[in-house]
Amino acid sequence: MRAFAVIPWLLLVLASLAAAVPAQAPGVPVYEDSDGEEPSREEKALQQAALLLKEAGALLPGQVVKEQLARTKCALVLPPAATKPLTGPEAWRRARSAYVRVGHLYQCKHCSDWHLNLAGGYAIAADGIVATCHHVVLPDDRDMKEAWLVCADDDGHVFPVLEVLAADARTDVAILRTGARKAEPLPLRVDVVPGEICWVFSDPMGARGVFSTGIVHRFVQAPPLDGGGERVVVVEVGADWAPGSSGSAVLDECGNAIGHVASIKAQLEEPEDAGEPAAAGDVAPPTPLATYLVQHAATRAADVLRLIEVLPAKPVEPAKPVAPAKQEPANAPR
């Protein structure tokens, strides 16, 4: 009986030890997802920080955003392409350090509450230059009464978006100058081949910090986002994403951005004829549909580069030698 009496005490000790020893490595965050319709504590804090920026006049209003989306070219100094393959944890750190959440603080047309809707983005040049999707930056007039553009890093720091530098609705690209100056820029790479490993760090369906991998599947023509003109070329990959991931970088095995999340499409089984209801007022049960294929399409890095005049990097000046301090003789008069 005494042995049985010890077991609850031992379980309590083991449980306390498990709670005190984290399972993740130092620097790895533990995320809190929202619980249904109720925003998480992080989302509430982000919204409050964004409201303070708005009240200080630091945020870009929706009307100005629309005007600046007409800009088609910007000049930037870009980082050189990386050539060393990364391990999975290294790729995660690289993707997270470049990740910038982009979206709108807004009031909707259905209530007086404030809302914060964030998608993805990624740094491409120093001093807070961020690329994302055009459809992420464009205010949604169907739902938004007033909107201000805002961004945040993965650690929960909120920054203003200062201006739209260039954009293209057809290929779903927008380049922004933001206050997220510590985001580490990703090089852009265009010579991509199917079969290459790829990585994506994003927040699909509000699930924070999801890191997934896959391979490049193919390049394919797709309808342009603005619905007119010639079809555009996108790259389809096997990494996972969902609504909320738009604008997040797709990285190659060396940590270069080969594009960013643009769309998702499910190929479903055709519904079968369920027949007539058994009696008046009865509802025929829906026929279950199988998902045959989920296609994840990304805007190519080449389409981001088309909006950029690449400037040469400033040469690093060699350090000037410092002359040794002149020493006075020990017996010099003072």
- For residues 80 and 17, give the distance between their C-alpha atoms in angstroms, rounded to a whole number: 46
Angle at 114 between CA 112 and CA 116, to 5 degrees: 150
The larger pLDDT score, comparing residue 62 to residue 10, is at: 62
- Give the pair of three-digit tokens for residue 257: 């951005």
Record the pTM: 0.84
CA distances 181 to 37, 99, 144, 148, 185, Å, are 32, 12, 28, 19, 10
pLDDT tier for residue 193 given thresholds of 50, 70 and 90: very high
The larger pLDDT score, comparing residue 160 to residue 314, is at: 160
The larger pLDDT score, comparing residue 135 to residue 9, is at: 135
Q: What is the CB neighbour count within 10 angstroms for residue 266?
A: 10
pLDDT tier for residue 18 given thresholds of 50, 70 and 90: very low
Count how many Cα atoms sit within 13 Å of the Cα of residue 98 in the half-sphere of its side chain. 32
Rg, Å, the chain Cα set = 26
Going by C-alpha positions, the residue among 98, 103, 123, 129 that lies closest to residue 114 is: 103
Pairing of strands 129-132, 122-125: antiparallel
**Structural domains of the chain sorted by starting position, each given as residue range(s) with its CATH number in brackets:** 40-271+288-309 (2.40.10.120)
Q: What is the pLDDT of residue 294?
A: 85
Q: What is the pLDDT of residues 222-280, one digit of tens each?
A: 988 777 788 999 999 999 999 999 999 999 999 999 999 999 988 887 766 445 554 54
Note whether 128 and 178 are within 8 A (CB): yes
Q: Which single residue is written with the structure tokens 């995320």?
A: 31
